[in-house]
Amino acid sequence: MMGGDIFVFPVLKDKAAIDAQTLLATVIMSKEGQLAFNSKKGSVPVRLDVDTSKLDACAQKGLNALKDPSRQILTSDVLTPQDVVQTEGDLIAQYWTTPSMTADQFADQFAKVIDQAK
């Protein structure tokens, strides 16, 4: 599935803060910044001119998938109504924070959530 990270900067009036935002955006989008970020995260750069030869095997598979449009689908967050996505997230959080919830109970509840999306 394809997805992406989004960095949002608030509209500011202070020149120093605007300069700091510009610097951060410049670093994030630089070849070096993209390589460092994606190496740590296990993802692929948004820039096409980054040397990706040293990225891990998972990233290499992602890069190959990006070259083949038939292997690309949007992340379920884009294809699913937002209320269902939120309910999924809430259920996952409940599962991780409720030691007494079994995997089978989680699976049953998750199936009910998915049925809502139909």
pLDDT tens, residue by residue, 16-57: 999 999 999 999 999 999 999 989 988 899 888 999 998 999
- Domain assignment of residue 5, yes or no: no
pLDDT band at 2 (very low <50, low <70, confident <90, very high): low
For tokens 């390589």, the residue is 35
- Domain assignment of residue 50, yes or no: yes
Structure tokens that stand for 26 in this block: 């410049």
Residues 25 and 67 reside in one and the same domain: yes
Residues 35 and 62 reside in one and the same domain: yes
Q: Above 90 in pLDDT, residue 101?
A: yes
If 0-12 CB within 10 Å is exposed, 13-18 middle and 19+ buried, where does residue 45 land?
buried
Read off the pLDDT of each residue in 77-88 and give the average, rounded to a whole number. Answer: 86
Residues 55 and 91 reside in one and the same domain: no
What's the rounded Cα separation, in Å, for the pair 84 and 17?
37
pLDDT band at 112 (very low <50, low <70, confident <90, very high): very high
Residues 62 and 37 reside in one and the same domain: yes
Cα-only R_g, the chain: 19
- Domain assignment of residue 49, yes or no: yes
Contacts 24+ apart (CB under 8 A), 77-83: 77/3, 80/117, 81/117
Read off the pTM: 0.56
- Domain assignment of residue 106, yes or no: yes
Domain count, the chain: 2
- Domain assignment of residue 2, yes or no: no
Residues 65 and 84 reside in one and the same domain: no
